[in-house]
Chain A
């Protein structure tokens, strides 16, 4: 455990501890009402499921039998976490699991950077959960986070072990990849924000364009009305 903390301090330690403070400070807002808590937990459920799918892809693609088995076990944990968050978000079971996407991270980054990214994700996730436990105490959903954090710490250790393994035992190289992936994640966040902004701008422009098409629409309705019945070729 001491080694674990030492590792975190070396590798993106500031970002990780900042995240814990941030989670502690914002917990009241994230869990201000049952509805808000449910939305927040659903987002966690989706993130866990996404991570499960990325790990299963890694399990299929890795050349190492040892890591394949490890990825499968890790994916099973993430799947369990996803279900636990979902159940806590909707204890009555009256909801659909949110839609989940995959980013094909293993295919895009290769195994070494994939592992570095997973390592950062695990450390950040655990820090965020710790922040919530600090704020929420033993009451639910604090207890749920406490249960999950045990797994996340193990994932962090295992992932570091595999990362060093694919860096041929070179810990300095592994740390360097982790730092690069922290930058990559920041870049990705920036890129996504930019995409959201541009898609809003695009939607506004297209809506204006469509309004300007009113005469064309009128002409279309007259010349190509809605077809009925059988059309012969």
Chain B
């Protein structure tokens, strides 16, 4: 029996997770409160927000668990920089400054920030935290667990076996041969921000053809035992992590794309510029090869756990929904499960569960992703009115009618989602077709690349009528990609990507308002499908509280209103 706060921080996407007797009670990323996208800073504000939502204070915590081992991380930094001598000359002062000024003292800083005794602060290990966050969230009795990310301490990939409440490490692959850092290099070379732009690479990949597969295979070799070996002459992460890729990479694929350069596509979604078509082909090849690497890793996991039929994935690479879709169809496992906060944010949850287990708690599976502080109409209307917005009562049928008239509406429903996906609690909704709806939201509201796809939210029981290869394990948290049935691709044009795929969310009563809207759409004779994207503008974290939502509506004139509970907020006409 324990009250544990898991914490992930100081690398990317800091977060906290409050677990009581094995049950998740609240979780929140620091970016949602600080409003800095992917904020890695110690999530003290997020911790206080989660505790307050649970009517608790830090004094009620039995333990605070940091998701990785700061001493093992320091050792890794020392060993890898010395090993890379003299190429690591530039990296060494920076890396040591980061370690010695903050990362090594993270437990003291947590104690000071939360105002609790240092003896209550513990640490876990990075991949063990990831593994727990995936396995225990799945509810499986036994499972193989595959964690794939950039690097955590010194580990890049790890395979675990979960049995009941036990979790055992079976094998791992160490730095620098990392699938996550391979993908990061591609991301940086394509001119996107590393740790943010990976989704852009995935979207771009659908526009190209995998014509550079042979070069990719040389860049990241898949050994017969499923391990990965990078051609380090093409990468830079082992001697300077700020560079991403090396001159060797440029020799193979040409000069990198200029960051921020606009993408221009023709009617068929093909880049107009020949150089951009090359970049799309490299993205397609990298995505294709990443899927091949993950299949090989899954096969390795299978060879270590031949009697197991469930595969759980975690780590930053597990946010690659296309690869998850492929694994679900071809890895040989009957179930492939990915929880909503598969990246480092989820490590906070795993760390808390691991500590609870050591005190005899039994982790409970995740039924939904809504674990952030709640937001209601009563909390929003006073500020909205003071800022000049108009509020009026609304019913689902009216919202649906507005959406099918071409309006774009924000939906706020209770507690916010944990992880990068909006699943109907902080969402932006539109009709699922035609395709120009997608272009409108991409250019006018999200101000992002025209090839970024939007996801369909569909009533769970009707998903199979519109999409192929939908599974509950990936559909529940929108962590995998399916295919839109050919007959529906025109109607669902705004939520079907150029290659016919769609990142489906299967909606049930856990997102009550979105569920009601889908039912109302069906009752009105439409398919029970809506375009659902996260409630945020360009490079912003998803909206959390009243201030964020009201500001969002006022800053985005192309959004027609906000639906919160049974209230519609609009700008005065």
Contact = CB atoms under 8 A, between A and B. Distances in A.
A199 B97 contact: yes
Contacts, number: 130
B92 A206 contact: yes
Interface string A189-226: 00000000001001100110011011011101100111
A74 B259 CA distance: 30
Given A94-B262, A210-B89, A224 B79 contact: yes
Given A220-B82, A230-B171, A233-B170, A69 B387 contact: yes
Contacts of B169: 233
B173 A202 contact: no
Contacts of B547: 56, 59-60, 68, 72
B35 A202 contact: no
Interface string A87-112: 00010111111001110100100000
Given A95-B260, A214-B85, A65 B300 contact: no
B83 interface: yes
A69 B169 CA distance: 52
Nearest to B168: A233
A73 interface: yes
Contacts of B88: 210
A224 B82 CA distance: 10
Contact of B383 (A72, A90, A211, A218): A72
B90 to A, nearest CB: 8
Interface residues of B, number: 53
B174 interface: yes
A75 interface: yes
A214 B173 CA distance: 27
B82 A230 contact: no
B83 A224 contact: yes
A228 interface: yes
Given A72-B387, A96-B193, A207-B92, A229 B551 contact: no
A110 B85 CA distance: 47
A217 B85 contact: yes
Contact of A72 (B172, B174, B550): B550
A149 interface: no
Interface in B482-526: none
Given A60-B545, A65-B383, A95-B260, A203 B93 contact: yes
Contact of B89 (A101, A207, A220, A224): A207
A230 to B, nearest CB: 4
The CB with the most chain B CB atoms within 10 A, among A216, A225, A229, is that of: A229
B223 interface: yes
A230 B173 CA distance: 5
A216 B82 contact: yes
Contacts of A217: 82-83, 85-86
Interface residues of A, number: 50
A102 B34 contact: yes
Contacts of B382: 65
B443 to A, nearest CB: 11
Given A226-B176, A230-B225, A231-B174, A65 B386 contact: yes
A47 to B, nearest CB: 15
A57 B172 CA distance: 42
Given A59-B547, A65-B383, A76-B551, A220 B79 contact: yes
15 contacts: A57-B34, A60-B547, A69-B383, A93-B260, A202-B97, A206-B96, A207-B89, A210-B89, A221-B82, A221-B85, A229-B173, A229-B227, A230-B226, A231-B171, A231-B174
Interface of A: 53, 56-57, 59-60, 65-66, 68-69, 72-73, 75-76, 79, 90, 92-97, 100-102, 104, 107, 199, 202-203, 206-207, 210-211, 213-214, 216-218, 220-221, 224-233
Given A60-B547, A230-B173, 18 more contacts: A53-B36, A56-B35, A56-B548, A60-B33, A60-B545, A65-B383, A72-B550, A104-B34, A202-B93, A202-B97, A207-B89, A225-B83, A226-B176, A227-B174, A228-B229, A229-B173, A230-B226, A232-B171
